[in-house]
Amino acid sequence: MDFNILKDKTAVITGASTGIGKAIALNMAQSGANIAIIFIGDEAPALDVKSQAESFGVKAEIYECDVSAFNISKAVCEKIVSDFGSVDILVNNAGIIKDGLLLRMSESDFDDVISVNLKGVFNMTKHLSRSIMRSQAGRIINISSVSGIMGNPGQANYSASKAGVIGFTKTTAKEFAGKKVTCNAIAPGFVVSDMTANLPQSVRDHANAVIPLKRMGTPKEIAHVAVFLASDMSSYITGEVIKVDGGMSM
């Protein structure tokens, strides 16, 4: 990999203190991008990502933000643009799950997941779009899920939110194409994470059995695709959904 492939770019990554978001932030930093790390809750993991990103010789800052809150996210985005001067890359990765069968799912569990996973993508994209458009080579990367393509029992809220992200991605790609901004989505399958580590062993064994490559993916494997989509190598790709799932949904 060209470790300067994103040199002098500024990337904003939501949900960047852990998991896939952390891997994307660090891989983009290693590729030369300055990094705005969006987190909520515990500051310590975000500071750790900041320190690791800075070890690659780039600028990195942390920002606590509830991406589902329109005015809060607007203020944070304005602060990021002020701190970095411009934004070239936005990775909408922040997401939550509140799983349950539809008949038992509460209204608040449905609303909360939609608010973070889908409205959060709208909020961050809207608030940073003008800066990204000025880049003349802007990149928006939305993290969806194979659950948004296939559906998944117990995830009516999550699947709906991630399917919505795909529709949002395609519309944004069409609206922003005239400004040379591309917008694509990544749809991970099962990925090794704190969330999957807490699943019963029988569930993990079944997941591995139905994945053609017979294993879960890693956050770094998702991050590699994100770096590609953020780089000039993907300049003629927009409105696409790239599945990174070991063949599970083919």
For the chain, what are the domain ranges? 10-241
Pick from 168, 151, 169: which is nearest to 160 by CA? 151
- Local confidence pLDDT in tens for the 250 residues of the chain: 557 999 999 999 999 999 999 999 999 999 999 999 999 999 999 999 999 999 999 999 999 999 999 999 999 999 999 999 999 999 999 999 999 999 999 999 999 999 999 999 999 999 999 999 999 889 999 999 999 999 999 999 999 999 999 999 999 999 999 999 999 999 999 999 877 777 778 878 888 898 999 999 999 999 999 999 999 999 999 999 999 999 999 8
CA pair distance 115, 107, nearest whole angstrom: 12
Tell me the β-bridge partners of 141. 91, 184
CATH of domain 10-241: 3.40.50.720
Q: What angle do CA 26, 81, 225 make, to 5 degrees?
A: 30
Coil, helix or strand at residue 174? helix
Which positions are annotated as active-site residues?
Answer: 158
The torsion angles phi and psi of 56, rounded to 5 degrees, stand at -90, 5
Do 139 and 89 contact (CB within 8 A), yes or no?
yes
Confirm whether pTM is higher than 0.75. Answer: yes
